Structure formats: C-alpha cells, structure tokens
Chains A and B, each alone.
Chain A
Amino acid sequence: MKRPNMSVDLGRGLVLANPVMAASGTYGYGLEYEDLTDLSAIGAVVVKGISPLPRAGNKPPRIVETAAGMLNSIGLQNPGIENFLTQKLPRLRDLGATVVANVYGESDDDYLLVVERLSSSRGDGVSGLEINVSCPNVKAGGLVYGTQPDMLGALVAKIRGATDKHVMVKLSPNVTNIAAMAKVAVEAGADSLSAINTLLGIAMDLETGLPKLGNVTGGLSGPAIKPVALHLAWRTVRAVDVPVIGIGGIDNGRDALEFIRVGCRAVQVGTANFRDPRAPLLIANEMEEWLAAHEYTDLADLVGTFRA
C-alpha cells in the first residue's frame, strides 16, 4: 500500500509533517516528554500558555475526573515569556520540534508583549502563535476576549500588525455563535482557527456540598466533549475560508479523521496525552493506516467530505 501524504501547510510558514498537534496545556513545554517520545515527529507541539510574567495559577484541587472526561482549573500557571525563551525554546529547537507558542495575557498590551518577544530573533524556532482567547479559568483575559467580538477583533488586528508569524486563534465553545467569533478573528487577520477550548463545568461532592475544584468551575475535556467539538468545528469551517484545526475529545485516529471529514485541516490532541504521551504519534499513524486502507493518497482529499 502506498503511504498517503500526511503533511499539512497551514499557511504563513506553519507546515506540519503530519496533521496531529499536541494541544496547549496538555503537553507542557514538550520537554517533559523528551524521554518518552520523539518530539520532532509530532505535527506540532503547542506549548502551555505563556504570559508576560510568571503566573502562580489557581487554588487546588485543580483537576477532577468526570464521566468520560475531566475538569481542570489550572489557571495558566506558567514561568513567563523570558523563562520560555531562555530555558525551554533552545532545547526544543535542538530537538527539532515544530513549535507553536500559546500566547496569553490579561490585556492587549500583555498579549502584544509576548507576541513581540516571540517574533523577535529570540523566538526563532517558533513556527506559529496560538492566541488563547478562550481559557475559562482566569479572571481577566482569556475567555473575556473570546466571548466579546469587538475585543477579539481589536486584539487580533493588533497582533497581526505585530508579527509575521502564523497566527492561530483558539476559539471558545462557551459562546452562542462560534461562527460569528470565527469571522471576526479571520477578518482581523487570523491565519487559522483552532476549535474548541474546554467547556465550562462544575463537579461537586454531594455529601459535603463542596465544589471539587478549588476554583469552583473548570474546563471540561476528554471524550465526553467530542460530539460538541465536532459540531462546533463543523460550524467554524463553514463560516470561514482559513484552515480550521479541530480539537476536543480526540482519542484515536478515527476520532481525528471525523474532524478532517467536517473540514478541519489538522487536529490537536489534548487529554489523550495524559493517558499516553505517545498519543499524537499513535493517532497520526492510525490516521495514515485508515487512509491507506481506504486508498486515499493524500489526507487533503478527505477534508470536507462529511455528507451532511
């Protein structure tokens, strides 16, 4: 059987050897997995959200397992942009990883500071920026941008003006009309969209009446959200003409191919990494095998073949 072409060009310099990326927040800075997998073989490693200064994160407990999923309320604990540039990125470059940096801020200026540093020569080795306007676990920034079209458009336009790198905007499912948010982001200059971030949820201890998360609410991920994610990815694809990267509950190659069928050009794998850090590579292999078995010569030929 001939091996199908699995590479994906998402535009403006972001080229993936295969369509499976490791999703932000589930793969650290990649280096945590250096012993366990070949980082250079992963489509792209989307690193954990980076803010201008280190962030402490939320009060524990921060995770809880739920039916076919989990809630998290990490609160973007991260060591800040300077630490990333000096302590993480050089090693990622040495290992040959394709790196997408997830950018987070509490204000326009925060986002721009991180984008500008990553876009300077110090950010060599970063192939794309994923703009986090959808984290549900922080008081400022994140989801605040991702639910307000005017703020989102203004932010993305400023980022577009500040970088030549690929700009991917990560959309939230916690909106009434994801298509409207998608259009705003693309009109402001986004090169691609990733959808979806986590869904807001609560877990409770019935006996005590206490929330199971220190932050009360958290973001739901895992197989439980796949149908929701597939629907919202589909709606996003139909609203815009830039590449869409599907995210949400992808656990195996078949799940990933469903996102390709609704029109996504690539996918991100998140919670599955906790079960097996080799998930991005395993899933890419499963996709390739399925395509070969069905006599596809190019992944691109499956894009948008959902017969709805």
Chain B
Amino acid sequence: MSKKFIADAPLLVMDKLSDFYYRLTVEFAELAHEARPGQFLSLEIPGPNAPLLRRPFSIHRVLDDKVQVLFKVVGEGTKILTQQQPGTMLNVMGPLGDGMFAPSEQAEKFLLVAGGIGIAPLLFLADVLQKRKAETLLFFGGRTADDLPTKDDFAMPVTLTTEDGSVGEKGLITVPLAAALQNGDAAKIQVLACGPMPMLKAVAELCYRYGAPGQVSLETMMACGVGSCYGCAIEVGRDEHGQARYERVCHEGPVFDVNHLPWDDKR
C-alpha cells in the first residue's frame, strides 16, 4: 500500500492540447515520489461554482517533483479546471489506488492499449517500461484525429486507428491488437489497457482468445477515492449462492487483472 498525501499544490502549467484535451502540471514532491503507474489522484475543483465532489484523474506522468494530469473536458468540473491559471493552488490528494499496473517479469513484450482519454495513465507506464528497456508497443484508438492526445509523446512503435478514418486505419483499435497477439507468442506478451468499457471488454476477450495476460484500468464515479465509502464498487464475480461480490475501483483498483473481472461471462 502506498502512502497518501493531501496538500495545496501549486499549478505550474495548464497546457491546452486541443479543444477538449488539457494537460496540467502541479508540483507535489511527496506524491510524485510515491506514485506508480496506474495510480490516480483526486483534485478539489476550486471556486464558488465547483461541484460537490473531488474529481479523480489518472497520474499521467511524473517528472522529478512534478505530477501531470491529462484530462478531457466532459462537464462543469473539468471546464472550471481549464480556467485555472498557473500559480493557483490546487488541493491534490494521492497517490490513490492499490491496484496499479504490474508489468510482468516474464513478459518479453508489452502492448499498451488506449482508447481516447484512456491514454492518460499510459505515458507514466511507458516511462517505467522504457527504463527496463522492455519492448513496448502502443495501440491507440479514437473516434477522430482529435481523440488521440499525446500520441507523439510515445517513443515506441505506435499503431493508430480512428472510427472515421481521419488518422491511421479506419476502425477499432482491437483489430490491429488482435493481429499483434495472433502473430506473436501471446504467452510472452502482456497487454496493459485503459479506455472505455466496451473497448476494455473487447481487449479482455482477445486476451482470453490468445492466452495473453492482461490488465485493465477502470473508471467509475467516486466520492471518497480512498476506499472508505464503497461508492465506486464494481462486481468482480459471484459467490456460491449467486450473490454478487464487489470491489472498490478506488482501492482494489483502478487496475485489475482481466481474469479478475466477470465481463458478463463472455470469456
């Protein structure tokens, strides 16, 4: 279990990447040093019109004492966030989540898979894998060319797809992913994915089909972010009486092994 911190951290940079994607940088040394890929942090949205609850975000990247968050504007909270100026203090809590990406020692090749804003935690993961000099490939899909933020930051072979064909192959990212798993020795590959639930489900099915180990990072509504409220629970299976068993995305997750989740029994 990692140690958690909460503090007002100075906002250093609010970088507008496109109409909907932003990358912010805060200085928070303790959090930066403790964080591992796949973990998240939560921010209190500042100001009088802020929503009630904190907002959880994947830790996008750690640079010395600085922590970056890549986010998409989806509602009032994220909109207010984009209006913050460097120098503002943001209340930051983290690192959160005991379920982090755990790159396997046995794997010889890592396939990172992202859909849209699901790319957020994968740059941090890529940094760690590259220190290990592990062979790593990125499969990154989006609806349009606009939904592939930070694609140029990955120093590795990158396969892109878009649903409208504006960049890369037209279609879903799981098509080239399936080909890579089919052509490789799947047992020596590890798949590490983050994105919308339908994509993760398709990724899990491919992991089962080709026998590749896989881990996925999930997203849910959260209240506390630290495992105390049980508000972010997801079903992880059923007991002998057919009673659902739940775990907390914020605590046991947000990264889960694909075998740990039921995927509606479609395996």
* A residues adjacent to B (C-beta < 8 A): 25-29, 32-33, 35-36, 48, 56-57, 59-65, 68-70, 72, 74, 77, 222-223, 271, 273-278
Contact = CB atoms under 8 A, between A and B. Distances in A.
Interface of B is mostly: loop
Contact of A72 (B91, B225, B231, B244): B231
Given A57-B246, A274-B223, A278-B6, A27 B233 contact: no
Nearest to B223: A274
Closest 10 CB pairs of A and B: A28-B228, A63-B231, A32-B228, A35-B4, A274-B223, A77-B230, A32-B226, A74-B230, A62-B231, A36-B6
A26 B4 CA distance: 18
Nearest to B6: A36
A236 B91 CA distance: 37
Contacts of A274: 52-54, 223-225, 229
A12 to B, nearest CB: 28
Given A35-B3, A69-B52, A275-B52, A61 B229 contact: no
B44 interface: yes
B224 A32 contact: yes
A63 B244 contact: no
Interface of B: 3-6, 44, 51-54, 91, 93, 220-235, 243-246
B74 to A, nearest CB: 13
Given A35-B4, A56-B245, A72 B228 contact: no
B13 to A, nearest CB: 24
A165 B166 CA distance: 69
A32 B54 CA distance: 17
Given A70-B53, A223-B52, A277-B6, A63 B223 contact: yes
A74 B231 contact: yes
Contacts of B3: 35
B246 A65 contact: no
A69 B44 CA distance: 15
Contacts of B6: 36, 276-278
A28 B226 contact: yes
A63 B228 CA distance: 13
A257 to B, nearest CB: 21
Contacts of A56: 243-246
A96 B227 CA distance: 21
A72 B233 CA distance: 12
9 contacts: A28-B229, A36-B93, A48-B228, A57-B246, A60-B235, A62-B230, A64-B221, A275-B44, A276-B6
B229 A26 contact: yes
Given A62-B231, A74-B229, 20 more contacts: A26-B228, A29-B228, A35-B4, A56-B243, A56-B244, A56-B245, A57-B230, A57-B233, A62-B232, A63-B232, A65-B52, A65-B221, A68-B52, A70-B53, A72-B231, A274-B54, A274-B223, A274-B224, A274-B229, A275-B52
Contact of B228 (A27, A62, A65): A27
Nearest to B238: A56
Nearest to B239: A56
A111 to B, nearest CB: 21
A205 to B, nearest CB: 13
